[in-house]
Amino acid sequence: MFSTHLRHGRLAGPIAVATLSRLVLNVGQRMAYPFLPVIARGLDVSLASASLLVSAGLVTGLAGPLIGPLADRAGRRRMMAWGMLLFSAGAALAAAYANFATVAAGFLIIGLGKVFFDPSLRAFVGDRVPFERRGVVLAFTELAWAGAILVGVPFAGWVMEARGWRAGYAGVAAAGLVGLTSLLVAIPADSPAATSRQERDGFGRALRSVLTNRAALGALGITWLLMASHELLFVVYGAWMETSHGLSVAQIGLVSMVIGVAELVGELGAAGLVDRLGKGRSLAIGLLLTGACYLVLPFLSAHLAASLAGLFALYVCFEFTFVATLPLLTELVPGARATIMSINGAWDSLGRVSGTLLGPILWAAGGMWVNGAVAGAATLAALLVLKTVVRPAPQST
């Protein structure tokens, strides 16, 4: 059925448009990281203060449990459109006023746009793509994550260098409006009146259906462990490169390109393998390999080439694992897909915040040896949760 949709362009077009729109959203979110010193100078604040802007965008993910049920009632297209509109408004606000408060507000609204958009897109795919083909389609939409750092962020840097940092945000604001228009044209309306009401839960009922589902709660725990372990390393990998190999800030920036390529490889690998291997089996393999990478990485500190190879392998395995979680989540509570994906986004944010706060403490205690050990243990604990709590159905393994 899905291949027929693709041949006739009924599904391929809308998903391509949604993925390109998500690319714009991701550029707006990810470009803050490498260009934070430029933004700090433009606002005349310290780098530490400017880092709070990134945190502001991250915290908005906690609003997911409140927003997700709306997509199960109002429709996927409407929520994606609202996400693009909020994103463009936030980026325009950040570009319009060069003071800390308004830029922080802009970053908050940008993050909120992501909270509206991402779960709705994943629920849209869950509604329309058969489970046996859902992995490849969700992996395709995740290409927007790697594509943002490989294509969008360098282009934004060129714009910022030529016109200033505010021009970069003005550019993504305009691109967001283009994405909004394209979504409204390409994606069919799916309001509750046009879909099966039996597949829609009320606001409170949707939340209860997720929060009382043992397998769903276990899957959310996996997300938290996976993202916390990721941030334990991501927050200190620059310091690791600097202390172990004496790399400059510019050289560490080039290492980020290695990570971007690894993310792309992981996403393509997920597209090719998750449906073939099975969702549960793919996730189990990914968690095992990712945990092993964390544990091995500290042993590679002596040589730069080995360290880069280790980072590359880690990010391939991590991105594969992350993508493998998505189709499994979409089928755990089919009547509340947007709700569970939004709650998952909140747990993603909680995991990132937890890892970001704990990572520097572990680094001070024992360097990469401690960070790698804790991250590896957390990832292997997620594998244990998968096998004992989630226990995917046979068709997903």
Which residue ranges of the chain lie beneath pLDDT 50? 1-8, 193-201, 394-395
Task: State both tokens at 246.
Answer: 């004496």
The residues spanned by each domain of the chain are 1-200, 201-388
Please tell me the distance from the alpha carbon of residue 279 to that of residue 286, in angstroms, as a whole number: 10
The beta strands (E) that lie in 178-295 are given as none
Residue with tokens 């609003």: 63
Please tell me the distance from the alpha carbon of residue 262 to that of residue 233, in angstroms, as a whole number: 15
Task: State both tokens at 263.
Answer: 């993310």
Please tell me the distance from the alpha carbon of residue 85 to that of residue 290, in angstroms, as a whole number: 36
Cβ neighbours of residue 35 closer than 8 Å, sequence gap 6 or more: 156, 157, 160, 165, 168
- DSSP conformation class of 333: S
Per-residue pLDDT, 249? 52
- Which of 239, 250, 206, 241 lies closest to 341 in space, CA to CA? 206
Q: How far is CA 69 from CA 60, 220, 277, 291, 339, in A?
A: 16, 16, 31, 33, 5
Packed helices 368-385 and 337-366: angle between N→C axes, nearest 10 degrees: 150
DSSP letters of 340-391?
Answer: HHHHHHHHHHHHHHHHHHHHHHHHHHHTHHHHHHHHHHHHHHHHHHIIIII-
CB of 8 closer than 8 Å to CB of 174:
no
Please tell me the distance from the alpha carbon of residue 44 to that of residue 41, in angstroms, as a whole number: 5
Residue with tokens 């190999």: 245
- Which residue type is seen at 323? V
Task: State both tokens at 389.
Answer: 């709590």
CB of 114 closer than 8 Å to CB of 25:
yes
CA dihedral 8, 139, 205, 65 (to 10 degrees): -130
Q: What is the pLDDT of residues 332-374, one digit of tens each?
A: 888 777 788 878 888 888 888 788 778 888 988 998 999 999 9
CB of 115 closer than 8 Å to CB of 60:
yes
- At the top level of CATH, the class of 201-388 is mainly alpha
Please tell me the distance from the alpha carbon of residue 310 to that of residue 272, in angstroms, as a whole number: 23
The 3-class secondary structure across 152-186, one letter per residue, is HHHHHHHHHHHHCHHHHHHHHHHHHHHHHHHHHHH
Please tell me the distance from the alpha carbon of residue 299 to that of residue 301, in angstroms, as a whole number: 6
- Which of 385, 395, 397 lies closest to 215 in space, CA to CA? 385
Per-residue pLDDT, 317? 96
Per-residue pLDDT, 182? 93
The phi, psi pair for 10, rounded to 5°, reads -70, -30
104-110: long-range contacts, CB 8 A cutoff, minimum separation 24: 104/52, 104/53, 104/56, 106/169, 107/32, 107/53, 107/54, 107/56, 107/57, 108/56, 108/57, 108/59, 108/60, 110/25, 110/28, 110/29, 110/57, 110/86
Q: What is the pLDDT of residues 3-20, one digit of tens each?
A: 434 444 578 889 999 999
Please tell me the distance from the alpha carbon of residue 337 to that of residue 348, in angstroms, as a whole number: 16
Instruction: Identify the CATH number of the domain defined by range 1-200.
Output: 1.20.1250.20
Per-residue pLDDT, 203? 59
